[in-house]
Structure 1
Amino acid sequence: MVGTLLSSVLLILSLSLVTSAPTASVTGLVPSINDNGVILVPSEKSYYLRIDVSGTGREETVEEIAPETLLVKGTFGQPFPGSKYLLVTYEAGPNGYVAKYSLSEIQNQVQHLPPAVLKTAAG
């Protein structure tokens, strides 16, 4: 069930980006979802996606920063045997794709905070 929902979300997002006009809002193309560990929140020229399923998590924001130019920022976390946790932080945009990887013990696992909380903390 979760796999089907996740596949549907990713298909909708992919089709939205391919078929949308540069001035179209994301809100009308991407549905709001809050179900079975999947949260998708569209806004005028961006969307926020969070997926938490069986210890694996993904959090991503996509923003149209200029006509036909997207900025994607996110994290992906995956637990591994032996109390290890892989965290990938990535950004893709006009300057290319950059990813940073870290492997830590699960008890030192990085807590995921929503972008709004991080913006507030930054001032």
Structure 2
Amino acid sequence: MSVKIFSTVLLILLLNRAISAATSGLHVPNINDNGVILVPSDNQYYLRIDVDGTGREETVEEIAPGQLLVRGSFGQPFPGSKYLLVTYEAGPNGYVAKYSYSEQFNQVLGLPPAVLKTIAG
């Protein structure tokens, strides 16, 4: 199985588990392994996956019982120093996605302060 297919399958499994946990009150594990970071907190979690230049960063928050707000981005490099970046938000007001396709990838994805505090303890 290729690394990209494996990372996609892993992402789908993690998202399904985390969404189920957020809506049912189950515990979401804290993960920091092989380019995958999953950091849960009281009513949300932060997910970041970096594999072979492809990255996904997402925050899922339960804003009301059974109601989620999802915000994130997905980046994919292409031959010729081209890069596709998709940002999205899904919640009670629907789904909105924006994309940019650039000649070079110059954006640095970083962890939000709340995630850094959680990881540090």
TM-score category of the 2 structures, normalised to the smaller one: 0.7 to 0.9
* Cα distance in 1 between the residues matched to 2:15 and 2:89: 17
Which structure 2 segments of 5+ residues have no match?
Answer: 115-121
Higher RCO (CA < 8 A, seq sep 6+): 2
Q: Compared with structure 1, are the counterparts of its residues 55 and 12 closer, same or farther at alpha carbon in structure 2 (3 Å cutoff)?
A: closer
Match of 1:79 in 2: 77
Which structure 1 segments of 5+ residues have no match?
Answer: 118-123
Match of 1:114 among 90, 111, 115: 111
Q: Percent identity?
A: 63
Q: Aligned-pair distance for 1:10? A: 3.2
Aligned length: 112
* Cα distance in 2 between the residues matched to 1:97 and 1:31: 27
* Cα distance in 1 between the residues matched to 2:21 and 2:46: 19
TM-score normalised per structure 2:
0.78
The two structures, once aligned, show a CA RMSD in angstroms of 2.4
* Cα distance in 2 between the residues matched to 1:55 and 1:103: 15
Contact 2:7 2:51 in 1 (8 A): no
TM-score normalised per structure 1:
0.77
* Cα distance in 2 between the residues matched to 1:21 and 1:95: 18
Match of 1:62 among 60, 63, 88: 60
* Cα distance in 2 between the residues matched to 1:8 and 1:103: 26
